[in-house]
Structure 1
């Protein structure tokens, strides 16, 4: 079972996820270097996944951090990267931003469990300014 910021059902919601900042404004050509931060306190989770939702509401999988090892999707390598320790946190970096990078970015945590789970997620909105 893949789980996105999930907690076992029937368990109090003492598990938390935090994605900061709530928004970022950048100019075309700038980079977002480790400014998008995702953290969680669910000790059994060892993966943080990253998604991008564009203005058409399409959700695109960007890749994931497994432990300390990043696995970006082939079509975003060189553009998107992430680092950290997925048992606790991950940072998303976007190089040389363009207008098409203006989107809502989501992080999610996962592990492989055989128990009923419910989802919790936190979005981030990033906007770009033109000169």
Structure 2
């Protein structure tokens, strides 16, 4: 099916905006355009779908980068204040977030072995965290400054 010129221009404009300055608002606008122009078929909308995926990846990457930088600065301040518990709590939360994401991906595959390994990793992360907190609280071991 040949794409009408008006639709082609609108889709191209959205793709261009998404590639230049991705935002949640533009992603929503692009997803609405997919619905609006669904009759044009996958072939005509593949570029827009790719632009949406790319924009989402860019947004996720920016979020991760900013969060990582923020946590690093918080760690520096807590090191200056000798607050090892706060540092450990942030480290643990970051690790849990990562493993929960991996578990969600594993569930999508349906592979029971991978799912169980991710669950075990979450359990071990909690055990390590609890031991580190006990060490910090007790004032002994590796985690004291």
Structure with more helix by fraction: 2
Structure with more strand by fraction: 1
**Common fold: TM-score over 0.5:** no
With normalisation by structure 1, the TM-score equals 0.25
With normalisation by structure 2, the TM-score equals 0.24
Instruction: Kindly indicate whether structure 1 or structure 2 has the higher relative contact order, using CA contacts under 8 Å at least 6 residues apart.
Output: 1
Larger Rg: 2
